[in-house]
Protein backbone atom coordinates (compact mmCIF):
# COMPACT_ATOMS: atom_id res chain seq x y z
CA UNK A 1 0.00 0.00 0.00
CA UNK A 2 1.28 3.46 -0.87
CA UNK A 3 2.25 5.85 1.92
CA UNK A 4 -0.21 8.56 2.82
CA UNK A 5 -0.67 11.37 5.34
CA UNK A 6 -3.89 11.77 7.29
CA UNK A 7 -5.35 15.22 6.73
CA UNK A 8 -8.26 17.01 8.37
CA UNK A 9 -10.45 19.98 7.58
CA UNK A 10 -13.52 21.66 9.04
CA UNK A 11 -16.96 21.74 7.50
CA UNK A 12 -19.10 24.88 7.47
CA UNK A 13 -21.15 23.47 10.35
CA UNK A 14 -18.13 22.65 12.50
CA UNK A 15 -17.39 18.97 11.80
CA UNK A 16 -13.79 17.74 11.70
CA UNK A 17 -13.52 15.76 8.48
CA UNK A 18 -10.76 13.43 7.30
CA UNK A 19 -8.93 12.64 4.07
CA UNK A 20 -5.95 10.59 3.02
CA UNK A 21 -3.28 12.43 1.07
CA UNK A 22 -0.98 10.32 -1.12
CA UNK A 23 1.78 12.68 -2.24
CA UNK A 24 2.93 12.95 -5.83
CA UNK A 25 2.34 14.45 -9.22
CA UNK A 26 3.96 17.86 -8.90
CA UNK A 27 2.53 20.03 -11.66
CA UNK A 28 -0.38 17.68 -12.28
CA UNK A 29 -3.92 18.12 -10.98
CA UNK A 30 -4.60 15.86 -7.98
CA UNK A 31 -7.06 13.00 -8.12
CA UNK A 32 -9.96 13.67 -5.77
CA UNK A 33 -11.53 10.32 -4.81
CA UNK A 34 -15.13 10.38 -3.58
CA UNK A 35 -16.56 7.12 -2.15
CA UNK A 36 -19.98 5.51 -2.17
CA UNK A 37 -22.78 5.83 0.35
CA UNK A 38 -21.50 3.45 3.03
CA UNK A 39 -17.84 3.50 2.01
CA UNK A 40 -14.77 5.53 2.91
CA UNK A 41 -11.28 6.55 1.84
CA UNK A 42 -9.98 2.99 2.20
CA UNK A 43 -11.88 2.04 -0.96
CA UNK A 44 -9.18 3.80 -2.98
CA UNK A 45 -6.13 2.08 -1.46
CA UNK A 46 -5.46 -0.03 -4.53
CA UNK A 47 -5.96 2.87 -6.93
CA UNK A 48 -3.64 5.12 -4.90
CA UNK A 49 -1.07 2.35 -4.61
CA UNK A 50 -0.99 2.09 -8.38
CA UNK A 51 -1.07 5.80 -9.30
CA UNK A 52 0.93 7.53 -6.53
CA UNK A 53 3.50 9.05 -6.61
CA UNK A 54 3.00 9.81 -10.30
CA UNK A 55 -0.27 11.46 -9.28
CA UNK A 56 -1.28 13.03 -5.98
CA UNK A 57 -4.32 11.15 -4.68
CA UNK A 58 -6.70 12.67 -2.13
CA UNK A 59 -9.26 10.17 -0.81
CA UNK A 60 -12.10 11.66 1.21
CA UNK A 61 -14.11 10.33 4.13
CA UNK A 62 -17.53 11.97 3.81
CA UNK A 63 -19.07 13.13 7.09
CA UNK A 64 -20.26 10.18 9.15
CA UNK A 65 -17.79 7.74 7.60
CA UNK A 66 -14.33 6.48 8.45
CA UNK A 67 -12.32 8.99 10.47
CA UNK A 68 -14.66 11.92 9.77
CA UNK A 69 -16.93 13.16 12.54
CA UNK A 70 -20.55 12.11 12.73
CA UNK A 71 -23.11 14.84 12.13
CA UNK A 72 -25.39 16.00 14.93
CA UNK A 73 -28.16 16.49 12.37
CA UNK A 74 -28.63 13.30 10.32
CA UNK A 75 -30.55 15.26 7.70
CA UNK A 76 -27.21 16.80 6.69
CA UNK A 77 -26.25 13.42 5.21
CA UNK A 78 -27.27 14.53 1.71
CA UNK A 79 -25.33 15.18 -1.53
CA UNK A 80 -25.59 18.97 -1.44
CA UNK A 81 -23.95 19.02 2.01
CA UNK A 82 -21.20 16.69 0.85
CA UNK A 83 -20.55 19.09 -2.03
CA UNK A 84 -20.17 21.97 0.43
CA UNK A 85 -17.80 19.86 2.53
CA UNK A 86 -15.64 19.03 -0.49
CA UNK A 87 -15.62 22.65 -1.64
CA UNK A 88 -14.33 23.60 1.82
CA UNK A 89 -11.54 21.02 1.46
CA UNK A 90 -10.54 22.30 -1.98
CA UNK A 91 -10.41 25.85 -0.61
CA UNK A 92 -8.40 24.70 2.43
CA UNK A 93 -5.82 22.97 0.22
CA UNK A 94 -5.77 25.73 -2.41
CA UNK A 95 -6.71 23.29 -5.19
CA UNK A 96 -8.08 24.99 -8.30
CA UNK A 97 -7.71 22.09 -10.75
CA UNK A 98 -8.47 18.44 -10.05
CA UNK A 99 -9.68 15.15 -11.50
CA UNK A 100 -12.74 13.76 -9.70
CA UNK A 101 -13.11 9.99 -9.29
CA UNK A 102 -16.55 9.31 -7.87
CA UNK A 103 -18.07 5.92 -7.09
CA UNK A 104 -21.87 5.81 -6.77
CA UNK A 105 -22.75 8.61 -4.30
CA UNK A 106 -19.28 10.04 -4.95
CA UNK A 107 -20.19 10.33 -8.63
CA UNK A 108 -23.35 12.26 -7.76
CA UNK A 109 -21.19 14.63 -5.71
CA UNK A 110 -18.79 14.97 -8.65
CA UNK A 111 -21.65 15.93 -10.98
CA UNK A 112 -22.88 18.55 -8.50
CA UNK A 113 -19.35 19.90 -8.10
CA UNK A 114 -19.15 20.26 -11.87
CA UNK A 115 -22.44 22.15 -11.89
CA UNK A 116 -21.03 24.60 -9.34
CA UNK A 117 -17.61 25.17 -10.92
CA UNK A 118 -16.89 23.05 -13.98
CA UNK A 119 -13.69 24.91 -14.89
CA UNK A 120 -11.88 23.47 -11.84
CA UNK A 121 -12.63 19.87 -12.81
CA UNK A 122 -10.24 18.89 -15.60
CA UNK A 123 -11.26 15.23 -15.74
CA UNK A 124 -13.85 12.96 -14.17
CA UNK A 125 -14.57 9.28 -13.59
CA UNK A 126 -18.21 8.44 -12.87
CA UNK A 127 -18.17 4.90 -11.50
CA UNK A 128 -21.48 3.10 -11.98
CA UNK A 129 -23.67 6.12 -11.46
CA UNK A 130 -25.67 8.51 -13.59
CA UNK A 131 -28.44 11.08 -13.37
CA UNK A 132 -31.04 8.28 -13.40
CA UNK A 133 -30.80 5.47 -10.84
CA UNK A 134 -32.57 2.18 -11.49
CA UNK A 135 -35.38 1.48 -9.03
CA UNK A 136 -34.17 -2.07 -8.38
CA UNK A 137 -30.76 -0.98 -7.18
CA UNK A 138 -32.19 1.93 -5.23
CA UNK A 139 -34.53 -0.39 -3.35
CA UNK A 140 -31.70 -2.83 -2.60
CA UNK A 141 -29.46 -0.09 -1.22
CA UNK A 142 -32.27 1.44 0.82
CA UNK A 143 -32.98 -1.99 2.37
CA UNK A 144 -29.32 -2.53 3.31
CA UNK A 145 -28.01 0.85 4.47
CA UNK A 146 -28.06 1.46 8.20
CA UNK A 147 -28.49 -2.21 9.01
CA UNK A 148 -25.64 -4.23 10.35
CA UNK A 149 -24.67 -6.03 13.50
CA UNK A 150 -21.27 -6.76 14.96
CA UNK A 151 -18.99 -9.74 14.52
CA UNK A 152 -16.42 -11.41 16.76
CA UNK A 153 -13.77 -11.82 14.01
CA UNK A 154 -12.85 -10.47 10.60
CA UNK A 155 -13.63 -13.87 9.11
CA UNK A 156 -17.21 -13.65 10.38
CA UNK A 157 -17.51 -10.16 8.88
CA UNK A 158 -16.07 -11.35 5.57
CA UNK A 159 -18.62 -14.16 5.40
CA UNK A 160 -21.43 -11.66 6.00
CA UNK A 161 -20.08 -9.39 3.25
CA UNK A 162 -19.84 -12.35 0.89
CA UNK A 163 -23.42 -13.35 1.59
CA UNK A 164 -24.68 -9.82 0.92
CA UNK A 165 -22.58 -9.15 -2.18
CA UNK A 166 -22.06 -12.52 -3.87
CA UNK A 167 -24.22 -11.55 -6.86
CA UNK A 168 -22.28 -8.30 -7.31
CA UNK A 169 -18.79 -9.84 -7.30
CA UNK A 170 -19.33 -13.46 -8.41
CA UNK A 171 -15.62 -14.11 -8.98
CA UNK A 172 -14.47 -13.03 -5.51
CA UNK A 173 -12.74 -15.47 -3.18
CA UNK A 174 -12.12 -15.35 0.57
CA UNK A 175 -9.14 -12.98 0.28
CA UNK A 176 -11.27 -10.50 -1.67
CA UNK A 177 -14.09 -10.68 0.88
CA UNK A 178 -11.65 -10.14 3.74
CA UNK A 179 -10.21 -7.10 1.97
CA UNK A 180 -13.70 -5.70 1.43
CA UNK A 181 -14.66 -6.35 5.05
CA UNK A 182 -11.64 -4.39 6.25
CA UNK A 183 -12.74 -1.43 4.14
CA UNK A 184 -16.37 -1.59 5.25
CA UNK A 185 -15.84 -2.37 8.94
CA UNK A 186 -13.66 -1.35 11.89
CA UNK A 187 -12.87 -2.63 15.36
CA UNK A 188 -14.71 -0.93 18.21
CA UNK A 189 -13.42 -0.45 21.75
CA UNK A 190 -14.82 -3.82 22.78
CA UNK A 191 -12.93 -5.61 20.03
CA UNK A 192 -16.04 -6.27 17.93
CA UNK A 193 -16.06 -5.75 14.17
CA UNK A 194 -18.67 -3.12 13.28
CA UNK A 195 -19.65 -1.06 10.22
CA UNK A 196 -17.49 2.03 9.82
CA UNK A 197 -20.21 4.60 9.31
CA UNK A 198 -22.94 6.40 11.23
CA UNK A 199 -26.07 4.28 10.98
CA UNK A 200 -28.05 7.52 10.79
CA UNK A 201 -26.89 8.15 7.21
CA UNK A 202 -29.93 6.04 6.32
CA UNK A 203 -32.41 8.56 7.74
CA UNK A 204 -32.56 11.08 4.87
CA UNK A 205 -32.19 8.25 2.36
CA UNK A 206 -35.32 6.59 3.68
CA UNK A 207 -37.32 9.80 4.20
CA UNK A 208 -40.05 10.75 1.68
CA UNK A 209 -38.26 12.01 -1.42
CA UNK A 210 -35.00 10.56 -0.10
CA UNK A 211 -34.10 9.18 -3.50
CA UNK A 212 -33.10 12.68 -4.45
CA UNK A 213 -35.70 14.52 -6.46
CA UNK A 214 -32.88 16.48 -8.13
CA UNK A 215 -32.66 16.47 -11.93
CA UNK A 216 -28.95 15.77 -12.44
CA UNK A 217 -28.98 15.79 -16.25
CA UNK A 218 -28.19 19.54 -16.35
CA UNK A 219 -25.28 18.90 -13.96
CA UNK A 220 -24.00 16.14 -16.23
CA UNK A 221 -24.26 18.49 -19.22
CA UNK A 222 -21.78 20.80 -17.49
CA UNK A 223 -19.16 18.09 -18.14
CA UNK A 224 -19.62 18.27 -21.92
CA UNK A 225 -16.21 19.91 -22.36
CA UNK A 226 -14.40 17.76 -19.79
CA UNK A 227 -12.49 14.51 -20.46
CA UNK A 228 -14.65 11.87 -18.79
CA UNK A 229 -14.77 8.15 -18.14
CA UNK A 230 -18.16 6.52 -17.62
CA UNK A 231 -17.80 3.12 -15.97
CA UNK A 232 -20.62 0.61 -15.60
CA UNK A 233 -20.56 -2.83 -14.02
CA UNK A 234 -22.01 -5.31 -16.49
CA UNK A 235 -24.22 -6.72 -13.70
CA UNK A 236 -25.19 -3.32 -12.27
CA UNK A 237 -28.70 -2.81 -10.93
CA UNK A 238 -28.05 0.93 -10.39
CA UNK A 239 -26.82 2.21 -13.76
CA UNK A 240 -28.61 0.78 -16.79
CA UNK A 241 -27.03 0.33 -20.20
CA UNK A 242 -29.66 2.72 -21.56
CA UNK A 243 -28.71 5.48 -19.12
CA UNK A 244 -25.02 4.91 -19.87
CA UNK A 245 -25.76 5.35 -23.56
CA UNK A 246 -27.66 8.59 -22.95
CA UNK A 247 -24.79 9.92 -20.85
CA UNK A 248 -22.23 9.13 -23.53
CA UNK A 249 -24.35 10.83 -26.19
CA UNK A 250 -24.39 14.06 -24.14
CA UNK A 251 -20.67 14.07 -23.33
CA UNK A 252 -18.58 14.24 -26.51
CA UNK A 253 -15.30 13.87 -24.59
CA UNK A 254 -16.43 10.79 -22.64
CA UNK A 255 -15.42 7.17 -23.00
CA UNK A 256 -18.00 4.65 -21.81
CA UNK A 257 -16.65 1.31 -20.54
CA UNK A 258 -18.59 -1.68 -19.23
CA UNK A 259 -16.60 -3.71 -16.70
CA UNK A 260 -17.24 -7.42 -17.12
CA UNK A 261 -18.57 -9.73 -14.42
CA UNK A 262 -19.21 -7.14 -11.66
CA UNK A 263 -22.26 -5.30 -10.44
CA UNK A 264 -22.57 -2.08 -8.45
CA UNK A 265 -19.93 -0.92 -8.31
CA UNK A 266 -16.61 -1.79 -9.96
CA UNK A 267 -13.76 -1.72 -7.43
CA UNK A 268 -11.50 0.14 -9.93
CA UNK A 269 -8.97 -2.69 -9.69
CA UNK A 270 -10.47 -4.71 -12.56
CA UNK A 271 -8.29 -4.85 -15.71
CA UNK A 272 -10.92 -3.05 -17.82
CA UNK A 273 -11.26 -0.28 -15.24
CA UNK A 274 -7.49 0.09 -14.78
CA UNK A 275 -6.88 0.44 -18.51
CA UNK A 276 -9.72 2.94 -18.92
CA UNK A 277 -8.55 5.10 -16.00
CA UNK A 278 -5.02 5.11 -17.42
CA UNK A 279 -6.37 6.29 -20.79
CA UNK A 280 -8.29 9.12 -19.13
CA UNK A 281 -5.30 10.26 -17.08
CA UNK A 282 -3.11 10.18 -20.20
CA UNK A 283 -5.57 12.58 -21.82
CA UNK A 284 -5.53 14.86 -18.77
CA UNK A 285 -1.71 14.82 -18.63
CA UNK A 286 -1.45 15.59 -22.34
CA UNK A 287 -3.76 18.57 -21.95
CA UNK A 288 -1.38 20.03 -19.36
Find how far residue 163's CA is from the centre of its chain.
22
Threshold 0.85, pTM exceeds: yes
Low-confidence residues in the chain, pLDDT < 70 = 208-213
CATH superfamily of 5-135+213-287: Alpha/Beta hydrolase fold, catalytic domain (3.40.50.1820)
Question: Which sequence spans correspond to the domains of the chain?
Answer: 5-135+213-287
Amino acid sequence: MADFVDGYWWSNDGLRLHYRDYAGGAGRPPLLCLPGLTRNARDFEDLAGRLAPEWRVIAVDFRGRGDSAYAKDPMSYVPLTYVQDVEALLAELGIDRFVAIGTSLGGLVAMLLAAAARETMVGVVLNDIGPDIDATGLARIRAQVGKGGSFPTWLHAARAVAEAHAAIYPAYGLADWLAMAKRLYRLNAAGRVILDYDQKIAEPFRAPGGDGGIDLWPALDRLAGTPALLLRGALSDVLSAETLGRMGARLPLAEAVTVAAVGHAPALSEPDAIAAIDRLLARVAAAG
